[in-house]
Amino acid sequence: MTQTDTRPSVDPRLLERPVLPTEWLHPAGREPSGDWARLPFGSSRMLPSAAYTSPLVFRWEQRHVFAAGWTCVGREDELRVGPDEPSGRPLTQRVVAVGDVSVVLTWPGDEVVALANTCRHRAHELLAEDDSATRQSLVCPYHAWSYDLAGRLRQAPGYHGMAGFEPADHGLVRLPVQRWHGWLFVHAASPLSDPVVADFDTYVGGLDEIVSPYAPEDLELGARHTYEVAANWKVITENYHECYHCPLIHPELCQVSPPESGHNHDLAGAWVGGCMDLRDGMETMSVTGRSDGRPLAGVSRTTVEYLGLWPNLLISAHPDYVMTHRMVPLTADRTWVECSWYVPRIGDGQSVDPSYAVEFWDITNRQDWKACESVQRGLSSPHASPGPFGPGEDAVHAFVQLVARCYQGQPVTRDHAGSAPTTAGAPSPGRLR
């Protein structure tokens, strides 16, 4: 999975601005400007089509949405497994891309550290894209400056005894990183001590009380599919947050879960989500409605949670498994999606076979991707214009408001329930994965 950099000619100072230039959203002056997505639910409209198709908007989002937000980079236990490490030793360093910023994750002992993948001498990358290692030091391949796993400079050949040179002044830039229920989140645009970085607990907010009972950190990976979808990441997210489309394209889903069921949550944090009900007699989301797994202790047996943590992690928590979609935008019209199923650990060399869940969701995913790709093609038409939200799309409205706030340089985190302009919380005719 390689991110593609589409670079139209543009003043780089515009890309550095934390406010998206309005003219990028309305390049031909065809669509209304102003607070197009900030109006209350019922009178607001979708984002302008350029938000989904413009390479300039894509580049701006790479820096100001993904690098400057708490982006999920994967499960920590999986990130520490080296694809080419025959010894089986856990990795001590690994490169990940966070928006348009290359980051080295390191593990000095039990700690996890995020470092800018930029040598403090001549800015050479310390590790190549997708590289990893089990070494106890980071060595720049250009001039052999070496750092410990915490980022402190240990050797700079030829600089020993040089007047005015202090190794402590040339450590790698440390970046904010957080663990949450087994996943790692990195804020790559700002150094560790920068006050602009949102407090992670505040960022997650009330989502934690919904996810915690499922204890995803104690579950094991049962299966994984990856997809490359020819659609903008926001199209995929908007599709996830509504079930208005379910009766037309998801017959299997409607057999086990009423598309009009459920409600949205109204809690603090930078996320959107709600739940849907299982039909009477159904045990989980599968083709038959039956579960071949084991129930998770302490969670609802009759509902499924559909939760989207800004900007790129979708968590679908079921009575017997947790499914996630982790998105990595590749271009304005292409997104890599990693779909993972996490199941209870049994022990004694046994494991839950998640094929009943994988079968159902692979069918549903592909139905969604087909719809999303059609939407993306439609958004590229010169006749596309922002449409109104349907009565069951209040969660989509809440997500679009997060996007609009980010575009306008405003915080996406709600300090308390109801503090952001959203109608989430009232019963809604459903949402979707």
pLDDT digits (tens, 9 = 90+) for 333-356: 999 999 999 999 988 878 899 999
Return the pLDDT at 18.
Answer: 87
Classify strands 183-186 and 177-180 as parallel, antiparallel or unpaired. antiparallel
- What pLDDT sits at residue 390? 87
- Angle of helix 233-240 relative to helix 394-407, nearest 10 degrees, comes to 150
3-state secondary structure the chain: CCCCCCCCCCCHHHHHCCCCCHHHHCCCCCCCCCCCCCCCCCCCECCCCHHHHCHHHHHHHHHHHHHCCCEEEEEHHHHCCCCCCCCCCCCCEEEEEECCEEEEEECCCCCCEEEECCCCCCCCCCCCCCCEECCCEEECCCCCCEEECCCCEEECCCCCCCCCCCHHHHCCCEECEEEECCEEEECCCCCCCCCCCCCHHHHHCCHHHHHHHHCHHHCEEEEEEEEEECCCHHHHHHHHCCCCCHHHHCHHHHHHCCCCCCEECCCCECEEEEEEECCCCCCCCCCCCCCCCCCCCCCCCCEEEEEEECCCEEEEECCCCEEEEEEEEEECCEEEEEEEEEECEEECCEECCCHHHHHHHHHHHHHHHHHHHHHHHHHCCCCCCCCECCCCCHHHHHHHHHHHHHHCCCCCCECCCCCCCCCECEECCCCCC
Count of CB atoms within 10 A of residue 112's CB? 17
Maximum Cα interatomic distance, the chain, rounded to a whole number of Å: 77
Q: Which residues contact 24 (CB under 8 A, 6 or more apart)?
A: 50, 54, 56, 57, 60
How far is the C-alpha of 26 from the C-alpha of 358, rounded, in Å? 41
Distances from the Cα of 279 to the Cαs of 244, 258, 289, in angstroms?
A: 17, 6, 9
Tokens at 90, concatenated: 């856990």
Whole-number pLDDT of residue 29: 52
Common-topology check for domains 1-67+199-433 and 71-197: no
**Residues shown for the chain:** 433
For 69-110, the pLDDT digits (tens) are: 999 999 999 999 987 655 678 999 999 999 999 999 999 999
Residue with tokens 């087994």: 182
Closest to 173 in 3D by CA, of 152, 155, 157:
152
- Rounded to a whole number of angstroms, the CA Rg of the chain reads 22
What is 1-67+199-433's CATH number?
Answer: 3.90.380.10
Please give the C-alpha separations between residue 312 and each of 66, 184, 215, 216, 326, in angstroms, as whole numbers: 8, 12, 20, 17, 6
For the chain, 433 residues long, give each residue's pLDDT as a single digit of tens. Answer: 655 555 556 666 667 788 998 888 876 555 544 455 666 665 688 999 999 999 999 999 999 999 999 999 999 999 999 876 556 789 999 999 999 999 999 999 999 999 999 999 999 999 999 999 999 999 999 999 999 999 999 999 999 889 999 999 999 999 999 999 999 999 999 999 899 999 999 999 999 999 999 999 999 999 999 999 999 999 999 999 999 999 999 999 999 999 999 999 999 999 999 999 999 999 999 999 999 999 999 999 999 999 999 999 999 999 999 999 999 999 999 999 999 999 999 888 788 999 999 999 999 999 999 999 999 999 999 999 999 998 889 999 999 999 999 999 999 998 765 544 332 322 333 343 4
CATH superfamily of 71-197: Rieske [2Fe-2S] iron-sulphur domain (2.102.10.10)
Domain boundaries, the chain: 1-67+199-433, 71-197
Q: What is the pTM of this model?
A: 0.92
Look at strands 350-351 and 345-347 and give their pairing.
antiparallel
Q: How far is CA 144 from CA 126, 139, 147, 155, 367, in A?
A: 10, 6, 10, 8, 51
Alpha-carbon distance 345 to 322, whole Å? 13
Distance (Å, rounded) from C-alpha 42 to C-alpha 128? 49
Beta-strand pair 220-229/334-343? antiparallel
Q: What is the pLDDT at residue 422?
A: 33
Q: What's residue 414's pLDDT?
A: 82
Pairing of strands 132-133, 177-180: unpaired
